[in-house]
């Protein structure tokens, strides 16, 4: 019996619980053991629901429970997620998270703590929801010199831009529609200002370079200045406007940015519409590849967390040998941010050059 | 020092050799050890080339060499590839292959032999070249009930269909062009008759169901009957014609086919042009995802082989726990093939129902 604890029973956390219940036969088949959610940490009580008896309110109920092998962190934010995950790792529990803010801010330290305690810290769900981009970078493209990662990695902004492009809506109309459909939060700044994409490209750039990339040094521009006129011009040029997060790696330099770009039909990311995500990876041997799918949402994101749980169980006796936990190392970063506001940025001149030399 | 032997020094085999040389620093970084190609089995001698001193002509030079940890099989075909790979596994050597004919015909047996001998048999490069579809099915979608896998998995036929669609060429013209460019072989039957795609979808269907799927029971129709008139109709309907390999899984039934289909612009595979491949996977939790990239070619395919080599080294002490080597099991198959020639097949009525119940 594998015992899992879920910290944070919101959209993703409940998705993980429901997937473990619904696909339990498949999971048992794959891991050769039963898996159950033993405890759920949340401030709420969920009376009258199937999880009522699993709820705990005190983190020590999880950290001090020797039966719990794996914790899932789906709280979001860094406080108290960071302290809770760190404590679990210190207590010898493996962890899987969907929390890009946590990984972008504290990923290196948590990987170090995990390694020291012979457990794993996995975060497939933190970027691209159900798109297996982390595993692709860590396993499938492990032998590649990665030259570029460029993605549409935020479903909210892609939905808004698609509505503006295809139905001629203006930014406010499209944002309101996204909020009505539950695709955008009441306070949508993290999405529309590009901060969500910024944290994701920082995580991917870190994995591609093997160096910690501080997201604060990445030039980040959202979509709030895009208006109807921009789309009229874009359409006349046979292009569409997408919010890209991109990392370009040349020799020992990393150029990373988040900003809206115009791309034409031949671009592999052109057809990524609506709330979908697409992430293009260019390696020196494999050439251009692209992964596409639901970048957010309850079950696609839960699926990535469950994939991490399965990996943890498959490899539980060789934790400290996983390359994932040896990849990120501290790096020297430039002292000053470079970059000024510009609607159509000329990338190389505005970007911070981040030195990734060893 | 990790010692690798390459069996078959053609396009893919030489790509693997060159990638190991060119990306040696990256590989050393990832695996923490040096990796070298110690021997290459081929009928030819390659005098005056950098591999001249590595060439051997006798398989026992590899099977009896205790220093060789991993063999790469890039010969193609089943004879003598099957006997050679099996002998290497029996001698306790891990194996990675790019050979879909070998995997489709003997995958289950080779996985069993590998498991019994506590080594791994990997075959990421056998489907989709540099597209990490095998690892996605085995690791990333391990917790999913897979409902559908549909792919454009043959670059040669996709190139021909793209030329017919976009430049109005007829089949023969497009085939000749593909041959001139080296995309199609002088005897192109395995590609244009759909047999290559058939073997690939059989491999993917096996991984998705956990049952051996015999490719001989898959309805297979190539593109040789597609003519200009078909494309004229398709274009009037706003569609394009693609060669699909598809596996649909419903309850305990598998429906698999290879044939040309008309698809419209909203289909995620519509924009897969030229020699590129795209593979769509639908799971009960993750929804629709798609992987896109170079489905063939020297370096993309070599990249997938090298990814397998890295996985083998990372997990070398836990070989028999890898889920990949526990997935395929023998299955009861229908005794008679179902399916008749039909240009636009109505799938469900023509397909063999393959019972995958336990």
Question: What tens digit of pLDDT does each residue of B231-241 get?
Answer: 999 999 888 99
Residue of B nearest to A321 (CA): B314
**Closest in A27, A286, A297 to B130, CB measured:** A286
Strand partners, A4: A37, A70
One CATH from 3.30.360.10, 3.30.565.10, 3.40.50.720, 3.40.50.2300 for A139-294+333-355: 3.30.360.10
> Taking CB atoms and an 8 Å limit, are A292 and B287 in contact across chains?
no
pLDDT at B37: 98
Summarize pLDDT for B182-200 with one digit per residue, the tens.
888 889 999 999 999 999 9
pLDDT tens digits, one per residue of A277-329 = 999 999 999 999 999 999 888 999 999 999 999 999 988 766 544 444 344 44
Cα A281 to its chain centre, rounded Å, is: 15
- Of B139, B289, B311, nearest to A130 by CB-CB distance is B289
* C-alpha pair distances (Å), A336 with each of A176, A352, B2: 36, 8, 43
Cα–Cα distance between B5 and B287 in angstroms, integer?
A: 40
CA atoms of B358 and B350, how far apart (whole Å): 24
Is the pLDDT score of B217 beyond 80?
yes
Identify the three-state secondary structure at position B72: strand
Cβ distance of B285 and A297 shorter than 8 Å: no
**What is the pLDDT, as a whole number, of residue A354?**
53
Residues of A in contact with B300 (CB under 8 A): 285-287
Bond preceding residue A80 cis, omega within 30 of 0: yes
Confidence of residue A90 (pLDDT cuts 50, 70, 90): very high
Q: Which phi and psi (to 5°) does residue B58 adopt?
A: -115, 125
Q: Does residue B12 surpass a pLDDT of 50?
A: yes
Neighbouring CB atoms inside 10 A of B238's CB total 11
Residues of B in contact with A23 (CB under 8 A): 143-145, 284-285
Using DSSP's 3-state secondary structure scheme, residue B291 falls into: strand
* B23 chain-A contacts, CB cut-off 8 A: 143-145, 284-285
**Helix segments in B7-137, DSSP class H:** 11-22, 24-31, 60-63, 81-90, 100-116, 133-135
Domain coordinates in residue numbering, chain A: 2-130+298-326, 139-294+333-355
ipTM of the complex: 0.89
The H or E element spanning position A301 is helix A298-314
DSSP for A1-35 reads -EEEEEE--SHHHHHHHHHHHHTHHHHHHHHSS-E
Q: CATH classification of A2-130+298-326, choosing from 3.40.50.720, 1.10.10.10, 2.102.10.10, 1.10.20.10?
A: 3.40.50.720
In a mutational test of the B interface, the residue from A12, A275, A285 whose CB has the highest number of chain B CBs within 10 Å is A285
Cα dihedral B189, B191, B194, B200 sign: positive
Cβ neighbours of A139 (radius 10 Å): 24
Whole-number Å distance between alpha carbons of B77 and B81? 7
**In this complex, which of B132, B286, B309 lies closest to A130 when CB atoms are compared?**
B286
Q: What is the pLDDT of residues B159-189, one digit of tens each?
A: 999 999 999 999 999 999 999 998 888 899 9
The number of beta carbons lying within 10 Å of the beta carbon of residue A159 is 23
Chain B residue with the nearest C-alpha to that of A323: B30
Give the best-scoring range by mean pLDDT among A230-239, B228-237, B299-308: B299-308
* Cross-chain residue pair A293–B293, CB shorter than 8 Å: no
Burial string for A267-281 (b: 16+ CB within 10 Å, else e) reads: bbbbbbbebbbbbbb
pLDDT over 60 at B57, yes or no? yes
Q: Do domains A2-130+298-326 and A139-294+333-355 have the same CATH topology?
A: no
Of the listed ranges A10-24, A238-252, A337-351, B160-174, the one predicted with least confidence:
A337-351
Residues of chain A with pLDDT > 70: what percent? Answer: 88
pLDDT at residue number B277? 96
Enumerate the residues of chain A whose CB falls inside 8 A of the CB of residue B19.
143, 285
Give pLDDT, residue B318: 62
For B6, half-sphere exposure in the C-beta direction (CA atoms, 13 angstrom radius) is 28
What are the distances in angstroms from CA B316 to CA A120, A320, B134, B202?
A: 18, 14, 19, 28
Q: What are the φ and ψ backbone dihedral angles of B324, each rounded to 5 degrees?
A: -55, -35
Task: Say what the pTM is.
Answer: 0.90
Q: Is residue A33 over pLDDT 60? A: yes
Is the confidence at residue B248, as pLDDT, over 80? yes
Antiparallel, parallel or unpaired: β B121-122 and A276-283: unpaired
User: How far apart (Å, rounded) are the C-alpha atoms in residues A211 and A64?
Assistant: 34
Question: E strands of chain A, at which residues?
Answer: 2-7, 35-41, 55-56, 68-73, 94-97, 121-122, 146-152, 219-220, 239-250, 253-264, 276-283, 287-294, 353-355
Tens digit of each residue's pLDDT (9 = 90 or more) over A329-345: 444 333 334 333 333 33
Backbone angles phi, psi at A94, to 5 degrees: -70, 155
Q: Are A125 and A309 in contact (CB under 8 A)?
A: no
- CB spacing of B287 vs A293 below 8 angstroms: yes
Q: How far is CA A128 from the centre of its chain?
A: 5
pLDDT band at residue A39, thresholds of 50, 70 and 90? very high
User: Span A227-234, mean pLDDT?
Assistant: 92
Domain B133-294+332-355 sits in CATH at 3.30.360.10
In the predicted model, what is the mean pLDDT of chain B?
Answer: 88
- Does the distance separating the beta carbons of A140 and B19 come in below 8 Å? no
Angstrom distance (rounded) from CA A244 to CA A212: 21
Cβ of A292 within 8 Å of Cβ of B294? The answer is no
Judged by CB atoms closer than 8 Å, whether chains meet at A287 and B299 is answered as yes
Q: Kind of pairing, strands B287-294 and A287-294?
A: antiparallel
Q: What is the pLDDT of residue B354?
A: 54
The residue ranking higher by pLDDT, A295 or B143, is B143
A317 chain-B contacts, CB cut-off 8 A: 318, 321
Greatest alpha-carbon pair distance for chain A in Å reads 63
pLDDT higher than 70, residue B268: yes
Residues of B with catalytic function? 200
Q: Give the model's pLDDT for residue B330.
A: 40
Q: Choose the closest CB to B286 out of A271, A288, A293.
A: A293
């Amino acid at each position: 019996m594998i015992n899992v604890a879920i910290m944070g029973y919101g959209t993703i956390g409940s998705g993980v619980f429901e997937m473990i219940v619904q696909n339990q036969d498949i999971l048992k088949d794959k891991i050769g053991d039963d898996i159950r959610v033993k405890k759920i940490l949340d401030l709420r009580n969920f009376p009258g629901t199937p999880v009522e008896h699993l709820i705990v309110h005190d983190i020590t109920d999880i950290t001090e429970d020797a039966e719990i092998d794996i914790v899932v962190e789906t709280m979001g934010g860094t406080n108290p997620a960071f302290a809770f995950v760190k404590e679990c790792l210190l207590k010898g529990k493996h962890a899987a998270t969907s929390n890009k803010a946590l990984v972008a801010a504290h990923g290196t330290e948590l990987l170090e703590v995990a390694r020291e305690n012979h457990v794993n810290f996995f975060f497939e769900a933190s970027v691209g929801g159900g798109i297996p981009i982390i595993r692709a970078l860590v396993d499938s493209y492990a032998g590649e010199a990665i030259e570029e990662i460029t993605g549409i990695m935020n479903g909210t902004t892609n939905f808004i831009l698609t509505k503006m492009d295809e139905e001629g809506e203006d930014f406010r109309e499209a944002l309101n529609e996204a909020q009505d459909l539950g695709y955008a939060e009441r306070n949508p700044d993290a999405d529309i200002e590009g901060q969500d994409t910024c944290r994701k490209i920082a995580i991917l750039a870190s994995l591609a370079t093997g160096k910690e990339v501080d997201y604060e040094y990445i030039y980040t521009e959202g979509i709030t200045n895009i208006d109807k006129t921009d789309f009229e011009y874009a359409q006349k040029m046979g292009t569409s406007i997408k919010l890209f997060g991109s990392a370009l790696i040349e020799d020992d330099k990393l150029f990373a940015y988040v900003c809206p770009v115009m791309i034409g039909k031949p671009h592999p990311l052109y057809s990524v519409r609506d709330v979908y995500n697409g992430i293009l990876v260019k390696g020196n041997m494999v050439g251009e590849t692209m992964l596409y799918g639901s970048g957010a949402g309850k079950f696609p994101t839960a699926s990535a967390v469950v994939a991490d749980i399965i990996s943890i169980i498959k490899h539980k006796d060789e934790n400290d040998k996983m390359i994932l936990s040896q990849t990120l190392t501290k790096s020297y970063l430039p002292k000053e941010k470079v970059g000024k506001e510009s609607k159509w940025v000329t990338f190389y001149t505005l970007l911070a050059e981040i030195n990734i030399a060893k």
